[in-house]
Amino acid sequence: MTIGAAQPNDNVPIVLVIDDCVDVHRLLAARLRNEALELVCETSGEAGIERVHQIEPSLVLLDLDMPGMDGFEVLRRLKDETSTSDVPVIVLSGMQSPSDKVTAFDLGAVDYITKPFDLMELRVRIRSALKMRHLIQMLAQRAQIDGLTGLWNRAHFDERWADETKRAERSGSPLSLAVFDLDHFKQVNDTYGHPAGDTVLQGVARLIQNIARQADIACRYGGEEFAIIMPDTTPEHAINLCERIRVAIIEADWHGKPGQRITISAGVAGSTGQTSIGRAEWIEVADRNLYRSKSEGRNRASMTDVGSKGPRLADAG
């Protein structure tokens, strides 16, 4: 399963210290030695911001009083930019006035610790900020997973499809899209009930996930519809993969109902390289092929090469 792939710094979080005083760096390095984190230090706001872009830290410990760009400005700039606005920032400051604290929180700091700090307190606040970030990331990821099947959901599909079409356009690399629909799924629900229908959807999703390759993005597109985005895949290879899925599904035994056969129809649109087709039109072509598979008797896959040579129809199954 490729779902839930860990971020590179998920195991050992990187904590970036931005403080003009190197004694603070030394103190933190010594006192946080036994924490499960990697400490990186910068002595100026400018260098700190650059570092955030480079290493994407899990947490920033930020001093307010620094020559040149002060901590407030660093905070403002981090929060103003989409790529860095989610990085949690704990302010570590000698400034004790309530108005400084209010300003720091208003600018988006998650916590404020006054110097000289108590190290036990610092440790628990760092742990708490890291835990919160982990939970937020997990929730964001869960929001893109289909609850019933564990595949990616439609929202994720839309995001990735936009990314992958852009990438293929830039690099001129092949790209294919397959859409599937379970044949006569309403009959399964009507005959065996909705829980049985859900079991079939889960089983089909599992077969799709097993056959799809690491780089493929398998999604539940809606109801009984599935989609697979296949980066770097020609339409010929894509339809082969669809065929393997179609055969695996027709051969599967559904628990307690040995006579029951489930079939799928599929439509593929793919390009071997450059294509002038837009990303919405690409989905329409795949959909049209799905309906063509349906109208030609179901339990089959149809394909169109949307490459520069112009649409070319082919089918299998």
Q: Kindly list the catalytic residues.
A: 224
> Is residue 111 a contact point for Mg ion (CB under 5 A)?
no
| Nearest-angstrom CA–CA distance, 6 and 4 | 6
Exactly one of 42, 63, 100, 164 binds Mg ion (CB under 5 A); that residue is: 63
Query: Which residue from 35, 56, 65, 236 is in contact with Mg ion, where contact means CB under 5 A?
Result: 65
| Shortest Å distance, C-beta 129 to Mg ion | 20
Q: Which residue has the tokens 């050992």?
A: 12
Residue recorded with tokens 């929180």: 105
Cβ 121 to Mg ion, closest distance in Å?
A: 19
Nearer to Mg ion, 19 or 183 (CB): 19
Based on CB atoms, which residue is closest to Mg ion, 43 or 149? 43
139-168 residues in contact with Mg ion (CB under 5 A) are none
Using CA atoms of 18, 129, 131, 144 in order, give the dihedral in degrees to the nearest 10.
Answer: -90
Q: Least separation, in Å, of the C-beta of 172 and Mg ion?
A: 50
Q: Which is nearer to Mg ion, 65 or 315 (CB)?
A: 65
By DSSP bridging, strand 264-271 and strand 301-305 are parallel
Q: Given the complex with Mg ion, which of 17 and 211 has the nearer CB atom?
A: 17
Query: Residues binding Mg ion: what is the number (CB under 5 A)?
Result: 4
Distance separating alpha carbons of residues 137 and 52, to the nearest angstrom: 18
Per-residue CA distances from 116 to 28, 84, 200, 204, 294 (Å): 12, 28, 61, 59, 72
**Segment lying near Mg ion (by CB under 5 A), choices 66-74, 120-128, 136-144, 258-266:** 66-74
Task: Select from 139, 281, 165, 155 the least CA-distant residue to 220.
Answer: 155
Residue numbers 3-62 binding Mg ion by CB under 5 A = 20
Q: How far is the CB of 65 from Mg ion (least distance, A)?
A: 4
Give the whole-angstrom CA distance, residue 115 versus residue 93.
5
By CB under 5 A, name the binding residues for Mg ion.
20, 63, 65-66
